[in-house]
Amino acid sequence: MFGSGIGAYKVGMVFAVLTVASASIVIWQVLPMLLMPTEFVASARLAIETATEGDAVGIATMISSIAPLVLVVSAIITATTVLLGWRTEKQQMGELKLIIAQLEFEITRLRQAAGEQN
């Protein structure tokens, strides 16, 4: 999974989007508690608690209840994936620099050999 840097960055991007989405849901849940009167928040919570599981409010409640966990997990996975992708890319760049140095050395050696023959 983390073998290529590009693949790791793609996985990291997916989890970064998931992190932003779950953070938005968490903010959407917390912000009304901070900005709205307590009575309104309490009546909204009562409406959510009395909703059945099949309707949209029940589904939204389920999503918002797991959003903090999804936020933490996806943030950890995003950071890990990006760090592993960066490490893989750094290693690949080192290998490519070594190959370039070897090729430059070979070119220099062949030019010297061709100069001696002339």
Cβ–Cβ < 8 Å for 41, 33: yes
pLDDT of residue 15: 79
pLDDT of residue 73: 81
Return d(Cα 36, Cα 76) in angstroms, integer.
Answer: 32
pLDDT of residue 26: 75
**DSSP line for 32-57:** HHHHS-HHHHHHHHHHHHTS-TTSHH
Return d(Cα 53, Cα 62) in angstroms, integer.
Answer: 8
By the 10 Å C-beta count (0-12 exposed, 13-18 middle, 19+ buried), 12 is classed as buried
pTM: 0.46
Q: What is the mean pLDDT of each run of 10 residues along the chain (118 residues)?
A: 60 79 76 64 63 63 72 81 80 91 94 83
Return d(Cα 80, Cα 49) in angstroms, integer.
Answer: 36
64 three-state secondary structure: helix
pLDDT of residue 57: 62
pLDDT of residue 2: 47
